[in-house]
Amino acid sequence: MIKFFEKDPYSPIQYVYDVEKVLYKGKSPFQDIMVIENSYFGKILILDGVVQLTEKDEFFYHEMLVHVIMHSHPEPKRVVVIGGGDGGAVREVLKHETVERIYFVEIDREVTEISKRFFPTVSSGVDDPKVEIHNMDGAEFIKSRTEEFDVVIVDSTDIIGFAKSLFTVEFFKAVKESLRDRGMFVTLSESLHFHKDMVVNVQETMRLVFPIVDLYTTPIATYAGNWWTFSCASLSLDLRQIRRECVKDTRYYSEEIHQQAFLPLSLYKKLMNKELEW
């Protein structure tokens, strides 16, 4: 049996997958792209040697990335998805009937093409008429926008290479400028087990810009450290509160999960004061 050894730049352990079949192996102008088949996880999308999604568990990540702030916002109409080339985040945003327009800003169009070919249930929404595709750097896209969007979602690769532009104070300032009042923002921020300092760093940088910043987590079997974090921010409203009826067709996200996903305040305080001893 062939094995795939993941090359996660920030992981202290290495994940190894049995490969039933290599379905695709190529190189875009931005990154190496590979799709493999595994007997437990189904098809797996790999970029630059790092697992991005598996058929088996992608819904945990996509639902939690999208639905928490989409349900905190009272009426999200104009939503930006930066990265997320596979289309999973767009699919989840489309479940919200309030949404009129999705600006899907993925730097690498080949990721979307591969996803359409191998992951049709993930990419199912990308050709929806509400979706406007921009193949460019998300930081460049957001730079020129003022008070246009209700929600901005970052679904990028790990904080390395061209994804780094999405974690700077300049980017967060531009996101803030681009939001309408009551606007909200969410981004992945790595694992609380393996990357505690990175989580704190993203939180601290966001706190320099946004008046309200919070943190929630979800278990993801295939991301290094598993206890995955999402850093979120808001211009005026508390993110822990749900303000609309929950969408029905989710497998993991629910009203209860929304409430339980946020870090308890005592733990959050310890994290930010750098008092967590692990």
Residues lying near ligand SAM in the complex (CB under 6 A) are found at: 30, 47, 52-53, 61, 82-86, 105-108, 111, 137-139, 155-157, 162-163, 165-166, 188
Q: What type of residue sits at position 92?
A: E
Q: How far is the CB of 155 from ligand SAM (least distance, A)?
A: 5
Cα distances (Å, whole numbers) of residue 111 to 48, 88, 148, 159, 215: 12, 12, 27, 18, 28
Q: How far is the CB of 139 from ligand SAM (least distance, A)?
A: 6
Q: Which residue is nearest to ligand SAM (CB)?
A: 83
Answer yes or no: are the C-beta atoms of 71 and 102 closer than 8 Å: no
CA distance 16 to 80: 34
Active-site position among 150, 155, 158, 214: 155
| Smaller CB separation from ligand SAM, 198 or 255 | 198
The total of other beta-carbon atoms located within 10 Å of residue 116's CB is 16
Instruction: Examine the residue annotation and report whether 155 is marked as an active-site residue of this protein.
Output: yes
Angle in degrees, CA 261, 232, 85, rounded to 5: 95
Q: How far is the CB of 165 from ligand SAM (least distance, A)?
A: 5
C-alpha dihedral, 204 to 64 to 100 to 156, nearest 10°? 60
Identify the burial level of 71 via C-beta atoms within 10 angstroms of its C-beta, where 0-12 means exposed, 13-18 middle and 19 or more buried. buried
User: Beta partners for 33?
Assistant: 26, 47
Q: How far is the CB of 88 from ligand SAM (least distance, A)?
A: 7
| Smaller CB separation from ligand SAM, 30 or 172 | 30
Catalytic residues: 155
